Amino acid sequence: MVRVDGSGGSNSLINVRGLGKTYSRGGEQIHVLQALNLDVEQGEFVAFMGPSGSGKTTLLNLLGGLDVPSAGSITVAGDEVTSMSRSKLTQWRARHVGFVFQMYNLIPVLTAFQNVELPLLLTNLSKAQRRQHVETALAVVGLSDRVHHFPRQLSGGQEQRVTIARAIVSDPTFLLCDEPTGDLDRKSADEIMELLLRLVKEYNKTVLMVTHDPLVAARADVTLHLEKGVLVEAGRQQTVTSGGAR
Amino acid sequence: MKFFSLIRANLFRKKIRFVLTIGSFAVALFLFGVLAIVKNAFSGGVDIAGADRLMVINRTSIIQPLPIAYADKIRRIPGVKELTYSNWFGGVYQDERNFFPQFAIDVDNQRRVYPEFDIPEEQWQNFVKDRQGAIAGAAIAKRFGWKVGDKIPIKGTFLGGIWDFNLDGIYHGTRQADDETQFWFQWKRFEEQVPEQFKGHVGWYAVKVDHPDDALRVSKAIDTEFANSPFETHTDTEKQFAAGWVKQFGNIQFLIMAIGGVVFFTLLLVTGNTMAIAVRERTAELAVLKAVGYSDRFVLFFVLFESLFIALLGGVIGLALAELFTLSGDPTHGILPFFVLPVKAIFMGLIVAVVVGAASGIIPAIGAMRLRVVDALRRV
């Protein structure tokens, strides 16, 4: 169950304690996140909302090991991320985190297959094993018939599906989605949300998502608002409160 | 190998830019190769000149003769192993533009002093027996389509008349840079046909010493022997003689280094700029690679490899074109007989290409390595 008061147990997948992030800008200290606590369990789907500049993306970057906090700690599946060196953090990201960006960020000169294969090139899997993993991931996102297409030959929704396939191909511990539907029309956005929900329900994936769209956020188990650098629980879906865990 | 598709896709991302960048390297290395060929053409004689051979010329000038009687006196000087002599002929074959050096040679000693020129024994023996015989270098024979048995008429310049020669043999150099453009005939025939006032004289002596260490002592001994005579001598090692010849053309080395330096510095700026643009436009992609787990070091080598690959491929193409350029032969038709791209220059060119490739790629590569994912994605 998602908690923001620091009362979660150590058996949570993600434990964030006293997290702070401060930027210096023109000699001024900007406290983006302040003593933030968060506990997320395996298989939960959490949406973060908040006004621009409230620190949503900063929080996601910290959770994904892309940035280092000014204070506090983040522990994921028992590993304290905040104490890792830069190179350790890179290895940790490869094993544990799947990223989905708003602008897809696919490599335009690689096919869908090659884009999805990228994280697997860092593993010891054989070529045949990599092929099998990539085909499975593309099948999960419904793009088995677009394997050899380049990004420019795909629609926005399809590109985002490839990004999701790339994020799940190495079976990471959790997915971080930064405005995954921000660049899509409503229909495509709905399809992407259906896909993310399916990953949570059918594959027990943990998804942490930043969004500006209340309709999108409403699809998640829990919506948390970032206000003045701290998280406030804004809404828990019916299934969550009644189901306990979700 | 598993990263091959990623590397290949990036290399061919902008095909026109890829081709132009490789082209700029190829042109620069072609120029480097041509400069090396020209330098070698001037100094090739110096590089391969025997350290154990001395050239004895008239102290006034090489165009002044020396008495044939000096031969025995020089042979008696301690340290002298072999001796031969030659005369410049300076004839014209068909047209004045068909320049090649012709020498009247001493058939008894030529091969002892110049063992690097290889001639089939049978051909040599035919030449020795044939007063009208001649031996041509392989390059000059190829240039004019001569074969053994051909009659070759050469018009004398300062001696006048048409001199008919029978081509008895063709010599080959045993080293890459050996001069294969010479044309030899018997000194005795030359002696028979020159006017009375020229008889009993040679153009120069070539002396082989027992050991290169003896060269200076023997040189001094020869010049001392003929000091204060009507025909004073000036003796140098063949290397010094060839170097003195090259000096007449000015400081070729400096000229080549200056031009080469400017070209490569310009190339460095152009390629460095190209690589910087290539990295800049891929900022988000490099950030994504890092986000999904590619290390900083991988990104560094990824960018650097691209730069090195372009440099090396362009370098190989440029040097291959320079080598092709030499296949058509010396464009001066004989003035630059050592018109080859030395193997040393090929290696040097490749090293230069790699160094320029690394130098132009290292700054963008370090920039890519230091790239912070968060900053890069925010910029996009």
pLDDT tens column, B19-35:
988 998 898 888 888 88
What is the model's pLDDT at position B82?
A: 93
- Percent of chain A residues past pLDDT 90, beyond the cut: 68
Contact B82, B109 (CB under 8 A): yes
Checking if the pLDDT of B229 tops 80, the result is yes
Render pLDDT for A62-89 as a digit per residue (tens, 0 to 9): 999 999 999 999 999 989 999 999 889 9
Q: Which residues contact B320 (CB under 8 A, 6 or more apart)?
A: none
CA distance B209 to B186: 24
Per-residue confidence at A238, pLDDT binned at 50, 70, 90? very low
Checking if the pLDDT of B326 tops 80, the result is yes
Q: Do A109 and B292 touch (CB under 8 A)?
A: no
Render pLDDT for A158-181 as a digit per residue (tens, 0 to 9): 999 999 999 999 999 999 999 999
What is the model's pLDDT at position B44?
A: 61
The backbone torsions φ and ψ at residue B238, rounded to the nearest 5 degrees and listed phi first, read -60, -35
What is the model's pLDDT at position A159?
A: 94
Q: Do B6 and A114 touch (CB under 8 A)?
A: yes
Greatest mean pLDDT range, B114-128, B238-252, B349-363: B114-128
Q: Do B284 and A127 touch (CB under 8 A)?
A: no
**Per mean pLDDT, which range of A94-108, A138-152, B364-378 is the poorest?**
B364-378
What is the model's pLDDT at position A157?
A: 92
Per-residue confidence at A184, pLDDT binned at 50, 70, 90? confident
Nearest to A94 by CA among A203, A14, A205, A170: A170
What is the model's pLDDT at position A240?
A: 35
Instruction: Looking at the complex, report in whole angstroms how far the Cα of residue B353 sits from the nearest Cα belonging to chain A.
Output: 27
**Nearest-by-Cβ selection for A103 from B3, B9, B380:** B380
What's the whole-number mean pLDDT along residues A223-245?
Answer: 62
Does residue A95 belong to the interface with chain B, where contact is any CB pair within 8 Å?
yes
Does residue A85 belong to the interface with chain B, where contact is any CB pair within 8 Å?
no
The two beta strands, A174-178 and A206-210, are parallel
Question: What residues in chain B have their Cβ under 8 A from chain A's Cβ atoms?
Answer: 2-3, 5-6, 9-10, 12-13, 284-285, 287-296, 372-374, 377, 380
What is the model's pLDDT at position A28?
A: 87
Q: Do B293 and A90 touch (CB under 8 A)?
A: yes
Instruction: Looking at the complex, report in whole angstroms how far the Cα of residue B293 sits from the nearest Cα belonging to chain A.
Output: 4
Render pLDDT for B60-119 as a digit per residue (tens, 0 to 9): 988 889 999 999 999 999 999 999 999 998 888 888 778 888 999 999 999 999 998 999
Per-residue confidence at A246, pLDDT binned at 50, 70, 90? very low
**Nearest-by-Cβ selection for B5 from A64, A94, A114:** A114
Instruction: List for chain B the helix, strand, coil content (%; round to 5).
Output: 55, 15, 30
Contact B47, B39 (CB under 8 A): no
The backbone torsions φ and ψ at residue A117, rounded to the nearest 5 degrees and listed phi first, read -75, -20
Helix orientation angle between A156-168 and A127-140, rounded to the nearest 10 degrees: 130
What is the model's pLDDT at position B50?
A: 64
What's the whole-number mean pLDDT along residues B187-199?
Answer: 88
Higher pLDDT: A76 or B377? It is A76
Checking if the pLDDT of B253 tops 80, the result is no
Q: Which residues contact B246 (CB under 8 A, 6 or more apart)?
A: B42, B43, B45, B46, B252
Domains of chain A (ranges, CATH numbers)? 43-66+84-243 (3.40.50.300)
Q: In which element (H, E) is residue A17 found?
A: strand A14-25
Q: Best residue in B292, B295, B306 to probe A by mutation, most A CBs within 10 Å?
A: B292
